């Protein structure tokens, strides 16, 4: 696979929802560049258009009720306006998607293994046996114990943290070049949260995956992101390197967001003492 | 006399009894004791599955513990007569995590907040309306909002309505079970600020149940860590939690997300070399 400078390029993206009173813009003139091996954090409060942006990138919005304008290029291939059938070939293989709530992302009536193998076999020519082997090894690399046992379990038998790691395993096993993670840790408790973030970091270090990390939690962003885009009312109001953004926020709204962080007396020496 | 006293509470959930399998019991709380003074806030921290919410239910009188006592103003919750129980219910209120499922979607905000008032206070219609308007304004909404239905509010606003309902009867204590966990950072900070103001104004006591040390730290006076149904340690000086030698507490503290990227624990990403 040839590596281009930019894995996913979003240019001039506008999303509007069609209402009886006319089109209501949700996202306007959005520009994003995702470079390989980097994590781009997208921050904003609820209702700022983070999730609808990521749905548009994946072409999951209903074209009847929503209009998506602009260009979304994955390694030079235009995604916006692709037919559903063609898009299905890209999803899962080229772009991985990690959803907010792992409990709702799986079908409760099929086993994990069943759903895992289905994903693999849709995109590759592997036999069922090979697919199971691949699934087991990718579960193993997610630090899940007894992967062959997990394959036979149903989603509701696993905890939220485990299920989220299974979802990452599924979305990563075909080595997509771009992963979109929409609030991957919001539904998890603190210890699982850090573990999931570590797994994401390991994957981008090992495979050079690009990650679009969507979150409202500046803690998650400061833990993992390299660059940050701050979103408000459907527009990106500030884009900067993560260190620069935290040290020298330019926009008033960014300053307000940074002030909203709960402040703890965990400073550097204390942190070292703790770990 | 403490406002609330929990004495050696032990609780277990049993599996379904069937012909083939004997009933097994899983102990979720064992020998939990603590007390909360009038006008203070206790933060109860633990990972998922530690028994936090069960403890909350036991304190609210929703789940009778297998052993032990819960004393509210010196009276045992589970042996008192119905008249006293009615008084306790007035003084002990709750705000849950999921605001959408804790209100009736078919009632207006006015009816939702009016329900406890109708049950306990005999107010005239106009008086009740005025009280509800005042309560809404107190939690940062407008009095006109009382005509709206839950579907017309955002998550943060709905959580404010739940809080307004909880303070309507001027209770002595409110149990906050993950009340801010589903909100974004800005909303979280605002709600925490509101709760703190209300506490000072009415001399309220809180039991603040959460997995997020950051949120618990900013509102609580004392912190208690629960692990596998047991109290690990109680910190009367909340700063002590950061230097605790207990492995369970250390683990929790180590997973606090950094407030600045320079304190991040994941460092590999920076060394990723583009191929």
The model's pLDDT over A162-185, given as tens digits with 9 standing for 90+, comes to 888 898 888 888 888 899 998 888
In a domain, B28, yes or no: yes
- pLDDT value at position B275? 33
Q: What is the pLDDT of residue B161?
A: 92
Measured between its terminal Cα atoms, the distance across chain B in Å is: 68
Query: Given the structure tokens 């925490």, which residue do they identify?
Result: B192
CB B242 to CB A266 under 8 A? yes
The answer, for B218 touching chain A at a CB cutoff of 8 Å, is yes
- Asked if the model's pLDDT at residue B179 lies above 70, the reply is yes
Report the residue from A37, A193, A224 with minimal CB separation from B272.
A37
Q: How many CB pairs under 8 A join A and B?
A: 146
Classify residue B29: in a domain, yes or no.
Answer: yes
Q: How many domains does chain B have?
A: 1
pLDDT value at position B267? 57
Q: Domain span at residue B55?
A: 4-256
Separation of alpha carbons A75 and A2, rounded Å: 9
pLDDT grade for A274, boundaries at 50, 70 and 90:
very low
Average pLDDT over residues A70-94: 86
pLDDT (mean) for B16-37: 85
Look at the alpha carbons of B219, B220, B223, B229 in this order and tell me if their dihedral is positive or negative.
negative
Q: Domains of chain A by range and CATH?
A: 8-274 (3.40.50.300)
Q: Which of A193, A201, A264 lies nearest to residue B217, judging by beta carbons?
A: A264
pLDDT of residue A151: 92
CB contact under 8 A, A275 and B213: no
On whether any CB of chain A is under 8 Å from the CB of B125, the answer is no
pLDDT at A222 over 70: yes
Asked if B215 reaches chain A (Cβ–Cβ under 8 Å), the answer is yes
Point out the least confidently predicted range of A47-56, B104-113, B156-165: A47-56
B205 pLDDT above the threshold of 90: yes
Residue B265 in any domain: the answer is no
Cβ–Cβ gap A189/B269 under 8 Å:
no
Q: What phi and psi values does residue A7 have, to the nearest 5 degrees?
A: -80, -45
**Token pair of A1 as six digits:** 């696979």
By the 8 A CB rule, do A253 and A237 touch?
yes
The answer to whether residue B56 sits within a structural domain is yes
In a domain, B172, yes or no: yes
Q: To the nearest whole percent, how much of chain A has pLDDT over 70?
A: 94
B183 contacts B191 by C-beta, under 8 angstroms: yes
- The arithmetic mean of pLDDT across residues B248-266, rounded, is 80
Q: Nearest CA of chain A to the CA of B107: how many Å?
A: 24
**Minimal Cβ distance to A223: which of B250, B252, B266:** B266
For range B133-140, the mean pLDDT: 90
CB contact under 8 A, B266 and A191: no
Average pLDDT value over all residues in chain B = 87
DSSP B146: G
Average pLDDT on A16-21 reads: 88
Closest CB from B156, B189, B265 relative to A262:
B189
- Count Cα neighbours of B128 within 13 Å in the Cβ-side half-sphere: 18
The answer to whether residue B105 is domain-embedded is: yes
H/E stretch holding B164: helix B155-167
Residue A268 has pLDDT above 50, yes or no: no
Look at residue A273 in the predicted model and tell me its pLDDT: 45
Query: What is the radius of gyration, based on Cα positions, of chain A?
Result: 19
Residue B262 lies in a domain: no
CA distance A149 to A168: 18
Q: Is the ipTM of this complex over 0.85?
A: no
Res B250 pLDDT > 80: yes
- Whether residues B242 and A265 touch (CB distance < 8 A) is answered with yes
Q: Is the pLDDT score of A63 beyond 90?
A: no
Best probe of the A interface among B52, B177, B186, by most A CBs < 10 A, is: B186
The angle at the Cα of A262, spanning B246 to A189, to the nearest 5 degrees, equals 55
Those of residues 229-268 in B touching chain A at CB distance below 8 A are 239, 242-243, 250-266, 268
Mark yes or no for CB contact B217/A262 under 8 Å.
Answer: yes
B155 neighbourhood in chain A, CB within 8 Å: 46
Strand arrangement, sheet containing A227-232? A95-98, A178-182, A210-215, A39-43, A227-232, A235-241
Cβ contact (<8 Å) for B185 and A39?
no
Both tokens of A12, joined, read: 């001039």
Mean pLDDT of the residues in chain A: 85
Residue A269 CB burial class (10 angstroms; 0-12, 13-18, ≥19) = exposed
Q: Across the interface, do A262 and B187 touch by the CB < 8 Å criterion?
A: no
Q: How does residue A196 score in pLDDT terms, banded at 50, 70 and 90?
A: confident
- The CATH number assigned to the domain holding B101 equals 3.40.50.300
Q: What is the pLDDT of residues B51-100, one digit of tens each?
A: 888 899 999 988 899 999 999 998 898 888 989 999 999 999 999 888 88
Give the percent of chain A with pLDDT over 90. Answer: 17
Interface contact B269-A201, CB threshold 8 A: yes
Confirm whether B186 is domain-assigned: yes
- Tell me: pLDDT of B132 over 90: yes
C-alpha to C-alpha distance for B34 and A170, rounded to whole angstroms: 44
């Amino acid at each position: 696979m040839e590596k281009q400078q930019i894995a996913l390029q979003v240019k001039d993206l506008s999303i509007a929802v069609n209402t009886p009173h006319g089109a209501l813009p949700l996202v306007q003139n959005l520009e994003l560049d995702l470079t390989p091996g980097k994590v781009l954090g997208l921050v904003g409060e609820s209702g700022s258009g983070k999730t609808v942006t990521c749905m548009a990138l994946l072409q999951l919005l209903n074209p009847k009720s929503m209009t998506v304008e602009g260009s979304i290029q994955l390694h030079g291939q235009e995604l916006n306006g692709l037919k559903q059938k063609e898009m299905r070939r890209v999803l899962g293989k080229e772009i991985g998607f990690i959803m907010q709530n792992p409990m709702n992302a799986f079908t409760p009536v099929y086993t994990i293994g069943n759903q895992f193998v289905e994903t693999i076999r849709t995109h590759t020519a592997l036999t069922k046996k090979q697919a199971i082997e691949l699934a087991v090894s990718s579960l193993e690399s997610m630090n899940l114990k007894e992967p062959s046992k997990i394959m036979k379990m149903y989603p509701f038998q696993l905890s939220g943290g485990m299920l989220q790691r299974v979802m990452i395993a599924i979305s990563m096993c075909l080595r997509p070049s771009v992963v979109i993670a929409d609030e991957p840790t919001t539904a998890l408790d603190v210890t699982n949260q850090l573990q999931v973030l570590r797994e994401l970091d390991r994957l981008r270090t090992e495979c050079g995956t690009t990650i679009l990390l969507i979150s409202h939690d500046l803690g998650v962003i400061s833990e993992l992101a390299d660059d940050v885009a701050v979103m408000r009312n459907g527009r990106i109001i500030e884009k900067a390197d993560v260190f620069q953004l935290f040290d020298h926020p330019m926009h008033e709204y960014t300053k307000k967001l940074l002030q909203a962080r709960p402040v703890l007396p965990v400073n550097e020496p204390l942190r070292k003492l703790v770990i | 006399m403490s406002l609330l006293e929990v004495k050696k509470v032990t609780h277990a959930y049993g599996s379904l009894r069937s012909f083939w399998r004997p009933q097994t019991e899983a102990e979720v709380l064992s020998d939990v004791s603590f007390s909360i003074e009038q006008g203070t806030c206790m933060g109860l921290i633990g990972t998922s599955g530690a028994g936090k919410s069960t403890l909350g239910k036991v304190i609210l009188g929703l789940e009778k513990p297998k052993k032990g006592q819960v004393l509210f103003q010196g009276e045992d919750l589970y042996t008192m007569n119905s008249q006293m129980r009615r008084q306790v219910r007035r003084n002990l209120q709750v705000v849950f995590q999921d605001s959408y499922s804790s209100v009736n979607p078919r009632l207006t905000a006015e009816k939702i907040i009016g329900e406890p008032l109708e049950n306990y206070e005999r107010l005239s219609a106009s008086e009740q309306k005025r009280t509800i308007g005042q309560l809404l304004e107190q939690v940062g909404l407008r009095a006109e909002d009382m005509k709206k239905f839950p579907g017309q509010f955002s998550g943060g606003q709905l959580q404010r309505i739940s809080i307004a309902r909880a303070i309507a009867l001027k209770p002595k204590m409110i149990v906050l079970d993950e009340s801010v966990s589903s909100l974004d950072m800005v909303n979280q900070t605002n709600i925490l600020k509101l709760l703190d103001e209300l506490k000072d104004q009415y001399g309220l006591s809180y039991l603040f149940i959460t997995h997020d040390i950051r949120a618990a730290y900013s509102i609580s006076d004392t912190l208690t860590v629960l692990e596998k149904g047991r109290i690990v340690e109680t910190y009367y000086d909340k700063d002590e939690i950061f230097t605790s030698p207990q492995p369970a507490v250390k683990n929790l503290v180590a997973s606090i997300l950094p407030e600045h990227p320079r304190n991040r624990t994941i460092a590999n990403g920076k060394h990723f070399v583009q191929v």
